[in-house]
């Protein structure tokens, strides 16, 4: 799940997209290893092409993989399907329906805990991710649990599977925030799914874009226009992207799904559970009680 310290966005002026904001941001320590390794020096809002975004995000997720797993591994479990920082579990909500005997594709799997849960639930799951670093943790998870989920290194924009290979597809905060075109990923997912198959994915709720990525009171003040789709980009000293994240409005998702041949069944906005005290990056009880942090789109291939 993305938890990037876009808190620097608080001070970045959307009116001057080319002017990088000095680094480090207030909460940059969460990703210190990746930022140091990649030489992250500032933040900018600017357009980013697909190749630059893919290269930056591959390098970033490789560099951040150990920190991500160290920070979130326990919460995510080894063979558990957690949709979001609010702790919604597939075990309880069954958004994918009955997966027994189904071929299920996971997109942007990270350490692949979701795919191991799916396997334990009787599915034939295949876990894919762009990052070799994240897949290394997935392999270690396979070895720890003895649940040998097939792992495939692949960009969600180019899924290496034949048409109609899967009966369901899912993604928990994987890939979609990091690719320039929803249409490209939706077209690929559509191609590899059988007609009628579920495609369920969770992303940061689009309304979070307007606030700094801060779990505390600073994260309650609007600093960024909801309608500005200019990507959030971290850059090194040469201005090269080291991390890219894209914003879409709720309407953008709905239109891309319809245009991509998917039927939207539900949009789940999980409420912050009573007694849930765990902060995940910008997700916190304080903010979670006031506005949604996650959007889960439940769709099927029309």
| Span from 123-131, 186-194, 205-213, 248-256 in contact with ligand SAM (CB under 6 A) | 123-131
Candidates 28, 79, 175, 244: give the one binding ligand SAM (CB under 6 A).
Answer: 175
Residue 155 Cβ vs ligand SAM, minimum distance, rounded to whole Å: 4
**Which string of x and - marks every residue 128-167 that binds ligand SAM (by CB under 6 A)?**
-xxx--x--------------------xxx----------
Q: Which is nearer to ligand SAM, 25 or 82 (CB)?
A: 82
Q: Which is nearer to ligand SAM, 44 or 130 (CB)?
A: 130
Sheet holding 42-45, edge to edge: 21-22, 42-45, 232-235, 241-245
Residues 227-266 that bind ligand SAM (CB under 6 A): none
Candidates 20, 174, 198, 231: give the one binding ligand SAM (CB under 6 A).
Answer: 174
- Which runs of consecutive H residues, i.e. helices, occur in 77-232? 90-93, 113-120, 132-145, 182-192
| Nearest Cα residue to 188 out of 134, 231, 128 | 128
- The answer to the question of residue 57 lying near ligand SAM (CB under 6 A) is yes
Q: Which two tokens stand for residue 130?
A: 């762009």
Helix axis angle for 50-76 and 132-145, nearest 10°, is: 30
| Nearest Cα residue to 84 out of 169, 194, 2 | 2
| Residue 122: how many other CB atoms lie within 10 Å | 12
Q: How far apart, in whole angstroms, are the C-alpha atoms of residue 108 and residue 54?
A: 13
Count the residues of the shown chain that bind ligand SAM, applying the rule CB under 6 A: 21
Minimal CB distance to ligand SAM: which residue? 110
| Span from 9-17, 19-27, 40-48, 105-113 in contact with ligand SAM (CB under 6 A) | 105-113
Candidates 28, 34, 59, 61: give the one binding ligand SAM (CB under 6 A).
Answer: 61
- The answer to the question of residue 294 lying near ligand SAM (CB under 6 A) is no
Q: What are phi and psi of 244, to 5 degrees?
A: -135, 135
Q: Which is nearer to ligand SAM, 42 or 108 (CB)?
A: 108
| Nearest Cα residue to 105 out of 123, 92, 89 | 123
Helix (H/G/I), strand (E/B), else coil: 167: coil
Q: Which is nearer to ligand SAM, 38 or 134 (CB)?
A: 134
Q: Which is nearer to ligand SAM, 54 or 227 (CB)?
A: 54
Helix axis angle for 132-145 and 113-120, nearest 10°, is: 40
Tokens 């897949």, located at residue: 135
Chain contacts with ligand SAM (rule: CB under 6 A):
1-2, 57, 61, 76, 108-110, 129-131, 134, 155-157, 172-175, 178-179
């Amino acid at each position: 799940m993305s938890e990037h310290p876009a808190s620097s966005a608080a001070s970045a002026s959307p009116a001057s997209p080319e002017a990088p904001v000095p680094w480090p941001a207030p909460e940059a320590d969460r990703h210190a290893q990746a930022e140091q390794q990649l030489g992250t020096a500032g933040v900018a809002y600017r357009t980013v092409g697909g190749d630059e975004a893919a290269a930056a995000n591959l390098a970033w997720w490789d560099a951040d993989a150990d920190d991500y797993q160290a920070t979130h591994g326990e919460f995510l479990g080894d063979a558990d399907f957690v949709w979001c920082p609010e702790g919604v579990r597939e075990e309880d909500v069954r958004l994918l329906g009955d997966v027994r005997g189904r071929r299920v594709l996971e997109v942007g799997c990270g350490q692949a805990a979701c795919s191991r849960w799916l396997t334990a639930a009787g599915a034939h799951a295949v876990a894919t991710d762009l990052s070799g670093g994240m897949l290394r943790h997935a392999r270690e998870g396979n070895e720890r649990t003895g649940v040998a989920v097939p792992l495939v290194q692949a960009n969600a924009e180019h899924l290496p599977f034949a048409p109609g290979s899967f009966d369901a597809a899912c993604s928990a905060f994987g890939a979609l925030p990091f690719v320039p075109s929803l249409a490209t990923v939706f077209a690929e997912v559509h191609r590899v799914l059988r007609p009628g198959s579920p495609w369920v994915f969770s992303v940061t709720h689009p309304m979070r874009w307007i606030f700094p990525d801060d779990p505390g009171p600073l994260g309650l003040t609007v600093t960024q226009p909801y309608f500005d789709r200019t990507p959030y980009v971290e850059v090194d000293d040469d201005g090269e992207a080291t991390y890219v994240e894209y914003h879409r409005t709720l309407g953008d998702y709905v239109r891309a799904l319809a245009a991509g041949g998917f039927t939207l069944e539900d949009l789940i906005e999980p409420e912050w559970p009573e007694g849930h005290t765990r902060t995940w990056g910008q997700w916190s009880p304080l903010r979670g009680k006031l506005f949604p942090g996650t959007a889960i789109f439940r769709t099927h291939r029309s």
